[in-house]
Amino acid sequence: MRPTWDEIFMEQAHLMARRSTCLRRHVGAVLVRDQRAIASGYNGPPSGLPHCDERGGCLREQLGVPSGHRQEICRALHAEQNVILQLAITGLSGKDTTLYVTHFPCFTCAKLLVQLGVRRIVFARGYPDHFSADLLDEAGIEIVEATS
């Protein structure tokens, strides 16, 4: 049976997540306009910097920080942040796009996605940050949970 566009781009997000070097969670994202991927990303440290496993482990894990908290001390950029930075590098706009992401965006990423002009988010798994859903709803962004 022929896959839907949502299924195709969700698979691409899962494929991007396989590039992640995060020791806690592998996240991938693909930004799409008019059924064409325009940017993609995964969570990991800034380009050229060592990964957490090369630095002796995850600092948040070592400090016992629960998932979804103290993101400012994480070395990794989120997949959504890498998508946005890829747009900046290539000079493309994120206005009126759909983001396919393996995990629901955190509050910080939700704010960035609203500002970027994303109109729809398709996600596969939840994330322990209830503020982001409220913000995305307030911004009128359509949220779709992907079917397995």
| Interatomic CA distance for residues 78 and 112, integer angstroms | 11
* Catalytic entry in 11, 54, 80, 145: 80
DSSP lists the bridge partners of residue 118 as: 97
**Residue 76: closest CA among 51, 113, 112:** 51
Task: List Cβ neighbours of 30 (8 Å cut-off, separation of 6 or more).
Answer: 9, 12, 13, 16, 37, 39, 40, 83, 99, 100, 101
Q: Is 80 a catalytic residue?
A: yes
| Interatomic CA distance for residues 45 and 74, integer angstroms | 9
Residues known to be catalytic: 80
